[in-house]
Every structure is written in C-alpha cells, then in structure tokens.
C-alpha cells in the first residue's frame, strides 16, 4: 500500500515569499478539514514569539521550538496530524532530516520552508564544519518529494533575485561576519547574482 506521507521543501532567498507560500498551503489544507500543526525556529523573533508571520503581515498559528532542537520539536509533536509544517528550518540541527523522513514514512505530509543560501551566497552552513558535510537544509532539498525554489526582485535592478544581501550600517557585510543573524529590511536586501556583493575577509593587522 503506497504511503500518503511526503516531504515538501520551499526554499529561496530573503523576501522571496517562502513563509507566504507556506501559509498559503496550510490555509488551503484547512479548507479540506485537514489537521495541521505548525512550528518555527526560536531564532525568528522578528514579529514576536507566537505564530508564523510574513514581511507583509500575514500570519498563521505556530509553536516556537526551544533552541531550534529537533528533539524538542519531537516532544511537541502531535502525530495525529495530517500536516506538520516547519518554518525557518535552516536553523534546526541535523536531526531534523531524520525526523522529517520518519514522519513522512508514517503518512504525514511535511512542509518545510527556509533559506537555501547564507548571506555569502553559500549553501546554508551547519554546526559541523566538514569538507563534505551536507547541511540539513541541503539534505532536505535532496530528499524532497516536491521542491520549490522561490525568487525575489533585486532591489538594485529588479531582475530575479536569488541571494540575500547582508547590510551593516547600510554597507555590504564582510565575508567573515556571523552567519546566524536574523533580520528584516534593516539588515537584508534581495539581490541578483550580479549585484550581490560581499567584502573580502578582514585580515589581522599583522598580515596587512
């Protein structure tokens, strides 16, 4: 008997509408009277601790997962649900991949949304720094039954934007700045690959 569960991944740069698309799918599922449980990373406090919220103001009830921990999420799960949704999934630990696979194998539809690239335009990094390490976001994209990569409009030229431009005091961030910095319009812009710019790493003074 074929399984009903599946894994859907929504990815893209900042301001590409990932959370909007996630909410759209959940609201559509509500019309079919499906049971839904939504979660988000504890890192995302831009619009408060409660619920998913888009930059344009749309919202949906969701549980903030302490420490963005897959084990904490596991404890909060209601496995009687038809759909489990996770926003800002790039902030979760390695265990999120196995958990999503486990739930999909048990006839639950999993829909996750998150950044595919960091502010440097590199695959979103994980806690393990290894040459061939596959971050959970990349692993989820590879394992997805459905994968949608969304784009935004470049703030410079209006073309398709696939990069998140980090800004510090209005200027492009250095390569060696912290990766995990949550922000909105004051800290990021959507850029195309042509207008995405990262300053070179800051060298120690004794090497200059």
E strands present in 83-199: 83-87, 109-115, 146-150, 152-153, 160-161, 163-168, 171-172, 188-191
CATH number of the domain encompassing residue 90: 3.40.50.300
Q: How far is CA 90 from the centre of its chain?
A: 5
Residue 188 covered by a domain: no
Q: Which of 21, 88, 101, 189 is catalytic?
A: 88
Residue 138 covered by a domain: yes
**117: which DSSP letter?**
B
pTM, whole model, 2 decimals? 0.87
Q: What's the full length of the chain, in residues?
A: 208
Q: Tens digits of per-residue pLDDT, 67-83?
A: 899 999 999 999 999 99
Residue 97 covered by a domain: yes
Q: Give me the residues paired with residue 112 across strands.
A: 9, 86
CA-angle at 127, arms to 189 and 90, nearest 5°: 40
Q: What is the model's pLDDT at position 29?
A: 97
Tokens read off for 176: 């060696």
Residue 193 covered by a domain: no
Residue 174: CB atoms within 10 A of its CB come to: 14
Burial class (CB in 10 A: 0-12, 13-18, 19+), 92: buried
Q: Tens digits of per-residue pLDDT, 111-147?
A: 999 999 999 998 876 544 455 557 899 999 999 999 9
Residue 145 covered by a domain: yes
Q: How far is CA 58 from the centre of its chain?
A: 17
Tokens 């030229």 -> residue: 157
Q: Give the count of domains, the chain.
A: 1
pLDDT by 10s per residue, the chain, length 208: 566 899 999 999 999 999 999 999 999 999 999 999 999 988 765 555 568 877 677 789 999 998 899 999 999 999 999 999 999 999 999 999 999 999 999 999 999 999 999 999 988 765 444 555 578 999 999 999 999 999 999 999 999 999 999 998 889 988 888 777 665 557 899 999 999 999 876 655 544 4
Q: Give the whole-angstrom CA distance, residue 194 versus residue 161.
A: 9
Cβ distance 43 to 68 under 8 Å? Answer: yes
Residue 200 covered by a domain: no
Residue 22 covered by a domain: yes
Whether 88 is catalytic is yes
Residue 162 covered by a domain: no
Domain of residue 88, residue span: 6-150
Q: Give the whole-angstrom CA distance, residue 167 versus residue 109.
A: 36
């Amino acid at each position: 008997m074929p399984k009903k569960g599946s894994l859907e991944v929504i990815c893209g740069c900042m301001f590409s509408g990932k959370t909007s698309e996630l909410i759209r799918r959940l609201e559509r599922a509500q019309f079919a009277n499906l049971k839904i449980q939504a979660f988000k990373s504890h890192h995302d406090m831009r619009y408060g601790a409660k619920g998913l919220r888009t930059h344009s103001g749309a919202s949906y009830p969701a549980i903030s997962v302490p420490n963005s921990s897959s084990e904490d999420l596991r404890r909060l799960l209601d496995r009687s649900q038809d759909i489990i949704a996770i926003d800002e999934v790039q902030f979760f630990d390695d265990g999120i991949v196995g958990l999503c696979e486990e739930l999909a194998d048990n006839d639950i539809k999993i829909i996750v949304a998150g950044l595919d690239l960091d502010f440097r335009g590199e695959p979103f990094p994980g806690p393990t720094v290894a040459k061939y390490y596959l971050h959970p976001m990349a692993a989820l994209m590879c394992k997805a039954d459905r994968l949608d990569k969304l784009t935004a409009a470049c703030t410079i030229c209006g073309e398709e934007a696939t990069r998140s431009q980090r800004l510090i005091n209005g200027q492009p961030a250095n390569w060696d700045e912290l990766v995990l910095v949550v922000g909105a319009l004051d800290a990021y812009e959507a850029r195309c690959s042509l207008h995405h710019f990262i300053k070179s790493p800051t060298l120690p003074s004794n090497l200059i």
